[in-house]
Amino acid sequence: MLSRRNFLTAAVGVAAATGLAACAKEDDSSSAGSGGSKALVLGFSQVGSESGWRSANTDSVKAAAKEAGYTLKFSDAQQKQENQISAIRSYITQGVDVIAFSPVVVTGWDAVLKEAKAKKIPVVLTDRSVETSDESLYVTLVGSDFTDEGRRAGKILEKVIAKAGLKGQVKIAQLEGTTGAAPAIERAKGFKEVMDADHADDWKIVVSQTGDFTRAGGKQVMAAFLQSNPDINVLFAHNDDMAIGAIQSIEAAGKKPGKDILIVSIDGVKDGFVAMSEGKINAIVECNPLLGPQLMEVVQKVKDGETVERWIKTKEGDFMQDQAAAALPTRKY
């Protein structure tokens, strides 16, 4: 999926954080544009508002659309595929210029994408990928390499374990993202690649379950993990929000997060850095949510009929406890 020729990896360096607010207010549509020619109309369907990352991503898209002078028709799918399909069909009926969406899950999109293609409305994926029988049904993907994020989580866990002086069997609990979602599938895959290649004998995932990328889910599932597997000594969370929820259950069980249970997560939202500065999260693999500017650039090129068959690659950052204090001021979303 990630090797396809027209995949775009978004810029995710820490310097890209531009101070967007984290609490996006959902609305049906917003209009942005100054006089003159008719504004480009973009229909955008967001997964939901399940995490700090998602809220920052929504803010980035809205702000970038306004800056570009586009008319943005926005919908929140509330993590339901049927809501996204309904929103996309509404955009098709309205005759928007371009459709963009961040798919809840990877499968089940062919029918609605064929409807968009039949009406000659280009579709751009953002953040997450899909599996389709016909790749011509969408133009490109603006997002991150989730498999590589999983690999980097595995590699940074090696450093965390060495720094903590953990000896013996590494017993890992994995908090997965939403079942069927690209980041959940691919982050787990990348992490397992590192395990299988370098730690087949000393690392073991003893329990793994979805927490739906939410704090509440992370808290609930981690509580169950600790009851069934009280000897867990590592937690790999597919996002910061689940890790933060899990911390509450770890502390409720009388254990110290970051010490009794080492924690590695993915995202890099402000609350994640706060937990890391407090020593409760040991390391974070960054996945920057500020995809709005790149998305608007692609949308304009698509509307103008220009090629977008190119790669945008920049270095992604990983953070550990001793770097947290320096990192905090740069992360304002």
pLDDT in tens, 127-139: 999 999 898 999 9
Q: Can you list the pairs that 88-94 forms with residues at least 24 positions away whose Cβ atoms lie under 8 Å?
A: 88/43, 88/45, 88/112, 88/115, 88/116, 89/115, 90/43, 91/43, 91/45, 91/116, 91/121, 92/116, 92/119, 92/121, 94/41, 94/43
List the 170-176 sheet strands across, edge first: 203-210, 170-176, 234-237, 262-267, 283-286, 318-320
List the 71-76 sheet strands across, edge first: 7-9, 140-143, 123-127, 98-101, 41-46, 71-76
Q: Who has greater pLDDT, 330 or 121?
A: 121
Count CB neighbours of 140 within 10 A.
23
Widest pairwise Cα distance in the chain: 68
Note the pLDDT of residue 212: 96
pLDDT at 118 over 80: yes
Q: How confident is the model at residue 317 (pLDDT cuts 50, 70, 90)?
A: low
pLDDT at 185 over 50: yes
pLDDT at 24 over 90: no
pLDDT at 30 over 60: no
Query: Which residues, at least 6 apart from 110, have a Cβ–Cβ distance to it below 8 Å?
Result: 132, 133, 134, 137
Query: Which residues, at least 6 apart from 313, have a Cβ–Cβ distance to it below 8 Å?
Result: 9
Query: Which residues, at least 6 apart from 309, have a Cβ–Cβ distance to it below 8 Å?
Result: 5, 6, 140
Report, as an integer, the average pLDDT of 151-165. 97
Per residue in 247-275, pLDDT (tens digit) is 999 999 999 999 999 999 999 999 999 99
Report, as an integer, the average pLDDT of 86-98. 98
